[in-house]
Chain A
Amino acid sequence: MAKKISILIVDDEESVRDSLYNWFIDDGYAVECAESAKKALSMLEVKDFDIILADIKMPGMDGLEMHKRIKTLNKEPIFIVMTAFASVDTAVQALKNGAYDYVTKPFDPDDLSHLIRNATTQIVLKAENEHLKNKISSLVDVEDLIGESEALGMVLKEVESVAQSNSSVIITGESGTGKELVARAIHANSSRKYFPLISVHCGALTESLLESELFGHEKGAFTGATFNRKGRFEMADGGTIFLDEIATISPKMQIELLRVLESKTFVRVGGNKEMSSDFRVICATNRDLKSMVKNGTFREDLYYRLNVVNIQIPPLRERIEDIPRLVNHFIRKYCTSMSKDLISIEPAALKHLEEFEFPGNVRELENMIERAIVIGNGKEIRLKDLPMGKEVSNSSIESLDDLEKKHIAMILNKYGWNISRSAKALNVDRVTLYNKIRKYELKMDE
């Protein structure tokens, strides 16, 4: 923002002026205060303000009268009135006279920042040339989306072409291929990049949890909801919402989601106020949605609404040429984060990686490198630092069960025995994992 947005606060109560002054100063606005309408009008004669926030009830001239006089000065600031509960009627009158909005004291911090942000957007839009906003020169790098293969190149090209639009995108690919990274790349290269990218892992939540997660809830909506909670759609306002594992949502949620996508409005659980949010939606799945539509488990109308653009991420085994580059990248990443000197990789180990199938794709490769750095000699990654290197040398004496037991124990320890995350990494459900833990009598390390 080139010029600071200026706000004038008009209120006879000093504590109100001070609180609001501090609040807006923190936000980077240029703020001034007046203790009466008369004072405000005299300030306005010599100076313009973008936004005026005025109390409706003040001794002497009230907020309504002040608004009328400002209009005769031929100035058009955004005028917001503040009111106590008792005088909402007067506030409505102010709206009829052309006030931008009103807020009731005390304000919810979120409502206040929302209100001012909307007002600011309006001011900026008015002043700014549209083309400035769309000036994004080249594709912003997204960490970890690494490689020069043709297959990845196509993905990046699609990211670039779709980023600038507002279209819904479905990202498909096996687990571990980096669907969330692609979503992040789209967001980071869009005009929404200064607003949040909100991720929701639909598969991890029950229907009712997902509902309150997406739409938020009002206090008292259910036992334990002592205060209001913002939903993910609200948080994504101005930005992007990323719905991972979209194929797992229930038929009821499919209908609700469709409705939100169509209207961009929703109601918090237990609430009645209609909220609106300006978001872009990106989904991801490792399932075949089309066949789910065919067999009736996924709504066709929702499918078409989401699937405006489809980006398919190739599995790692179809872009082997990227493996050396990825290995280097992960070595750099983990050596740096563990404050170790950069290490190299033994040619035999690299060759082995290039021949491996990687059912868990890039994530599996990343895990292997991280582990190899932890257990290795600190100079280079050797064949024996890689789990499959060991497998090969020991397979004649170890049974498949032994290997499974070891692998599960390794993953569990890696994720600190967090069952959900371990199950996800192993690509099995939690029940299966629990059964395996029981079967192999695995226990947490002391």
Chain B
Amino acid sequence: MEKQNITIILGGHFEKDVLRMVSEDITREFHYPVIQQAGNFDLSGYYHPGRRQYDANGILKEVSEISTPGSIKTMGLFRVDLFIPILTYIFGQAVLNGNTGIVSLFRMKNELYGLPQNNNLLIERFRKVVIHELGHTFGLIHCQYPNCVMRSSTYVEDIDQKKNFFCKNCQEELNRKRGLEMMIG
């Protein structure tokens, strides 16, 4: 069996540096090595012409069906505008206590909000949401602590308020849950 890892699946082009930072964040917070895998998605099937957005539930399902040897969690990284039927947009979503999550940086761009383009800020936001969604797959729910990465954010400004790591409580909760997962196997 391959060594246990967290796999990131690329559903769009991301610069090497970005992927390196994302991987480092994941390893730092979750203590698993990260493996990258190309996605080869055809997203056109998920496009909703009326909303001009992509169906996040469908994409999440496809990501969950990709074979990823040795992977305990799989994160799909995208650049397209995601929605779920009931919400106007989402930054990402994950299955609570599941194995899969997806994140898109589309709605995190400053330009969409009339602000000057800021690539560093965009990457920072993206990295935080990746950790956040992965946190959900490990069973973490939203945290009240203002700076914690697990705080719920519905606007980019909310993302900027938090850090890209867990508060003490979430960290402990995560360790507890990871311990359980390892025992189960």
Contact = CB atoms under 8 A, between A and B. Distances in A.
Contacts of B96: 22, 25-26
B142 A28 contact: yes
A232 B158 CA distance: 10
Contact of A27 (B86, B112, B152, B161): B152
Interface of B: 57, 83-90, 93, 95-96, 107, 111-115, 136, 141-142, 144-146, 152, 154-155, 157-158, 161
Interface string A149-188: 0000000000000000000000000000000000000000
Given A196-B161, A197-B146, A229-B155, A25 B113 contact: no
B155 A212 contact: no
A15 B87 contact: no
B87 A26 contact: no
Interface stretch (A32-40, A219-227, A291-299, A353-361): A219-227
Nearest to B93: A22
Given A28-B142, A108-B88, A224-B114, A230 B136 contact: no
Interface of A: 13, 15-16, 18-20, 22-23, 25-28, 105-110, 112-113, 194-198, 212, 217, 221-230, 232, 235, 239
Contacts of A223: 114
A26 B138 CA distance: 12
Contacts of B144: 194
A20 B86 contact: yes
Contact of B107 (A23, A112, A212, A227): A227
A97 B113 CA distance: 38
A-B pairs with lowest CB-CB distance, top 5:
A225-B114, A110-B154, A224-B114, A109-B154, A28-B141
Q: Looking at B87, B93, B154, which has the most chain A CB atoms within 10 Å of its CB? A: B87
Contacts of B152: 26-27, 113
24 contacts: A15-B57, A15-B85, A18-B57, A19-B57, A19-B84, A19-B85, A19-B87, A26-B141, A27-B141, A28-B141, A28-B142, A105-B86, A106-B85, A107-B87, A108-B88, A108-B154, A109-B89, A113-B154, A196-B146, A197-B146, A224-B111, A229-B114, A229-B155, A229-B157
Contacts of A28: 141-142
A194 B112 contact: no
Given A28-B141, A197-B146, A235 B85 contact: no
A226 B107 CA distance: 10
A177 B137 CA distance: 44
Given A19-B86, A226-B113, 17 more contacts: A13-B85, A19-B57, A20-B86, A26-B142, A26-B152, A27-B152, A106-B85, A107-B87, A113-B154, A224-B115, A227-B113, A229-B113, A230-B157, A230-B158, A232-B157, A235-B155, A235-B158
A194 B87 contact: no
Nearest to B147: A196
A403 B72 CA distance: 58
B116 to A, nearest CB: 9
Q: Looking at B88, B93, B158, which has the most chain A CB atoms within 10 Å of its CB? A: B88
Contacts of B95: 22
A22 B114 CA distance: 31
A110 B86 contact: no
Nearest to A209: B115
A2 to B, nearest CB: 14
Contacts of A25: 96, 141
A212 B111 CA distance: 14
Q: Looking at B86, B89, B115, B146, which has the most chain A CB atoms within 10 Å of its CB? A: B86
Contacts of A194: 144-146
B142 A226 contact: no
A106 B155 CA distance: 16
Contacts of B85: 13, 15-16, 19, 106
Contacts of A16: 85-86
Contacts of A229: 113-115, 155, 157
